[in-house]
Structure 1
């Protein structure tokens, strides 16, 4: 069987990153060979992974579909890849597909592991598929209704996606809250109201927390109205979080609900198996507003130092796109200068 060569990004103790060469067998029956066009760093999760902050208890639940190696050690990790099918069935040949695959320039996977990008979704924007699926799942968990006052704390990629989707609910009054005033411009481009924490509206029907900080979660409890729900979307890895549950938490009968993309709500899971939810998420990315979340691309060859920079505590990067080969920076669909 013929063998091909590929290069992949690996996290190694230090922590640091390096590109390693790998051998690929030709795709067999029911498999596809994909050449990567773009991938993305999912900053929240990949920061914890890169810096070795995954609790032992979560090693199995946190595994990415095509991860190799072990957390907090040497591993290949990632789940936001868009590539073009070079070999496979005629229905997929030459098509751009999304796959939950790590940062690697070419790979072979089962045909069922890839999903063609819908018409109108550029390859570069398609890397937001996993983040959009997380946002969709959070809205399912929260079940907002017409006219809700909704707060979203944390203007990172997932928070912005949640706010943009919620703002499309008729009559919904949505506010995106962040400590960085520069995020106001991003919110305007998405058509969402922005406020700094001191000016955030209280008495909300729903509050989504996505900031990844204990301070953000504490504020979420403040903004929630009586008998309201707080949807916790941040994951803290090995960090402990302290909350003021001894003040008005009980008298106001607040609900704190965890939302995790790997576990759809039971009444949804019964009908949304397979890749139906991901297909929905990819279709939503046809909206050109979401181009505003994409940072200028970096070359795959630069990923070892870019990963260290993007996952540092000082980073304010949104969605860092990784470009493979000679792909055009904007894939012909850039909206960033708008």
Structure 2
């Protein structure tokens, strides 16, 4: 597959994209959805200042391999120097960087990240411009935004983003105050018509039919899924619910890549939400270790991981500040507080 993001978006057909999701759109999950017609994947949002300053942050937050593309690395940044340095660090291992201007969470707003930037168009312009001047095409620099009640301000913002040299814009067609309400399709259409660069539509996609309808109605170049693809990683290939082949793929992927238990289990909880009967789901959702999960899946579905020669065979690269190492012995995924998260609070923009 081509790694030219703009070229993919300009193809006259729907481009299917996996959203940046806090803690969840990591390498293992990206590997899974790519098997089911997902064409472009985003990393979770990464704090650019921490990424630049801390080798531990780099080791924890960014893991990739040779099959992990096309890939966009999303950063939260409010200082051009941080965004530029972070972009330069990941540029050899990705196809673009994205500036998060949509996260509505209180901590992000308080720190001047995410949706807080929607009121600072000149800062957004500078952040984009600085990266664009340092890293040449086809590496992309993009922005993910939410809409505002004052549509004129968002139109002006999109035009500012375009004029700064952005490669494309992703629009989550809800305001920062909205959660699971229907998206504002009319505002999305207005924004699509306000710029010439590619635009990705985000919000409310729970099935391939939803994606195709949003693509047709919005006239955007691509459609991004978040909660829908977390619940059904095979969404873009037309499955109405997670097929067992997808569960098998997840077992195989996580047996060949180091994956902490909470990440391994929570993805399965989401994937089986609409598949397992209620009684069995109550049992499965509270299992406490990997062996019990594997035993459950083998007893109930006859599924078990395929044997591999090495626990590291699919990891070609782990980003580390001191050196590039194959298959880091350290855990590369966070496991902080997943059990307290609700689906509606997972997403960063």
**TM-score (structure 2 length as normaliser):** 0.28
Q: Is the strand fraction higher in 1 or 2?
A: 1
Q: Is the helix fraction higher in 1 or 2?
A: 2
